[in-house]
Chain A
Amino acid sequence: MEKVLMKGNEALAEAAIRAGCKCFFGYPITPQSELPAYLAREMPKRGGVFLQAESEVAAINMVYGAAGAGVRVMTSSSSPGISLKQEGISYLCGAELPCVIVNIMRGGPGLGDIQPAQSDYFQATRGGGHGDYRTIVLAPASVQELVDLVYDAFDLADKYRNPVLILGDGILGQMMEPVVFKERPAKELPPKTWATTGKMGRQKSNVINSLYLDPVKLEEHNRKLFKKYQEIEQKEARYEILNGDDAEYFVVAYGICARIAHAAVEMAREEGIKVGLIRPITLWPYPKKAFEEVLPRAKAFLTVELSCGQMVEDVKLSVEGRAPVYFYGRTGGMVPTAEEIFEEIKKMRGLS
């Protein structure tokens, strides 16, 4: 298999095409511009659709239309744009439409800046828009993983009829790493018998809808959605534990932050500190099992994020008070050095 050196944003775009993405709708925003530019170049050549929408709102609703028509579809943006898409994401979840939404996160709130951040964690993992719903959230930490997770994202979306978010950041999008586009056997997925393709001989018309005026019906629908979410929680949580076998202390970090934390963990190991790294790959469902696995020997946890502390709440919920949970974050587009995190690891050991 040939290895190519590619930027995260472009690798993501290429993986989407290979995963069978037929339509892309987006609106320009930094720092994810290479992704739509790549698709604008490639989609027309390879039988796909690229369309620059008039707004983020329009783009996500175009996604709704295309997803409802039964094709694989994607949109991408960065934090402020993802806020605008929330209306559409809520409708997509209500109508149970599969799609992939990429958020290359930048600093906020408001216009914030264009530097890497992880401050949209709550928005991504708690639904984000109105109503009782969840989206699957994938958090790659390398360009190769980004590519692999794009394929998975489309499969998961189709399998569960649910939007899947890929949460990246400016560094991941801009960085180059070797990547292999593996040939993957097509997954067996449920046929899209619900899609509005025109009746085409079908007896009954199909309807894509999120309106249930009768509260009895809406509650039924909500319960059905939550049953689906429970199944996803049971089956799809993913994580990686590094240097964990004999570890007594754990750093918890995802995405680019996990890479820096990994470097810090290696520094600490060189000084004989028994520390490991828990790297959630799915942020929703949150990989609670990772914590179950290490809790018997864990003395403390240190959550590191590019935010003022969001994922730390899920860490606390997973640890359930059985060990202290500390937090270290940089925000506004600032990125911690491995040395900074190493210092925090030493502090954690001193405190517990």
Chain B
Amino acid sequence: MKVVFERPKSLQPTKTHYCPGCGHGVIHRLVAEVIDELGIQDKTIGVAPVGCAVLAYNYFDVDMQQAAHGRAPAVATGIKRALPDRVVFTYQGDGDLAAIGTAEIVHAAARGENITVIFVNNAIYGMTGGQMAPTTLVGQRTETSPYGRDPQVAGYPIRVCEMLATLDGPSFLARAELTDVKNINKAKSYIKKAFEMQLAGKGFSLVEILSPCPTNWGMKPIDAVEWVKKEMVKVFPPGVFKEPKEG
């Protein structure tokens, strides 16, 4: 019998704690597939964030460090500088990367730090129970914006790719949506490109993935995917924001 589907080598044979309909499981798989395809499992070191993906070190079968909230890019910098011939990636959510860790991500990008960042944007704090995130949409209801995010009080969502694209350091910045097969494949191609950039020594690469959080959005999984498609992409347009010029 021919095997047509199997667990990537770079994932541990274990169940995850993620909720039904959550995007993290798929994104883990995409990252693991890319690591397998590039044949870099043995020399890859991942950095787990604080947030829903805090236990990522239990799921990826590569060496992992767990970082303090928002500090993953600094931790990854330390690893990469100590071991420049290894592949280092961080896996961060929106609260981790775009709120408490804004300084770390901006400066890692500005330095052109030769690491890859997987940025999962689901417009909410998941692990702490659904609070407003820096990427929460205007009008979006959360535990801490119960009447909807009011710009007069809480300002506006941060577009990370666009912001980092103003810097000279990054080599590759792209945003994908985790909504359908076509877009999931696109997300994977971006992730692969990002790791390839690092392998080629081109410097900082980041892939932002718009991902559903049915539990904290209070939606059915299918509705959550629809919400990404209809609402999130309006504020966070998918696409490539920075890539090296060909030739």
Contact = CB atoms under 8 A, between A and B. Distances in A.
B67 A66 contact: no
A170 interface: no
- Taking residues whose C-beta sits less than 8 angstroms from the other chain, chain B's interface range is 35 or more
A62 B103 contact: no
- From DSSP, what is the main secondary structure of chain B's interface residues? helix
Interface stretch (B23-31, B43-51, B151-159, B187-195): B43-51
Nearest to B87: A198
B64 A196 contact: yes
Nearest to A99: B78
B74 interface: yes
Contacts of A196: 45, 63-65, 79
Contact of B78 (A68, A206, A210, A211): A68
Contacts of B57: 207, 209
Nearest to A198: B43
A127 interface: no
A23 to B, nearest CB: 5
A208 to B, nearest CB: 4
A91 B78 contact: no
Interface string A184-226: 0000000000001111110001111111000000000000000
Interface of B: 12, 41-45, 47, 54-55, 57-58, 60-68, 71, 74-83, 86-87, 103-104, 106-107
A91 B107 CA distance: 21
A71 B82 contact: yes
Given A22-B82, A199-B63, A210-B66, A62 B74 contact: yes
A154 to B, nearest CB: 15
A61 B63 contact: no
A61 B104 contact: yes
Contacts of B106: 54
Nearest to A87: B68
Nearest to B54: A211
25 contacts: A23-B81, A25-B78, A49-B82, A51-B77, A57-B103, A58-B74, A58-B103, A61-B78, A64-B74, A65-B65, A65-B76, A65-B77, A65-B80, A66-B78, A68-B75, A69-B78, A73-B82, A88-B68, A95-B65, A95-B66, A196-B45, A196-B64, A206-B63, A207-B57, A209-B57
Query: Which interface residue of A55, A65, A67 has the most chain B CB atoms within 10 A?
Result: A65
A124 B65 CA distance: 25
B106 to A, nearest CB: 8
A28 interface: no
Contact of B83 (A25, A198, A201, A208): A198
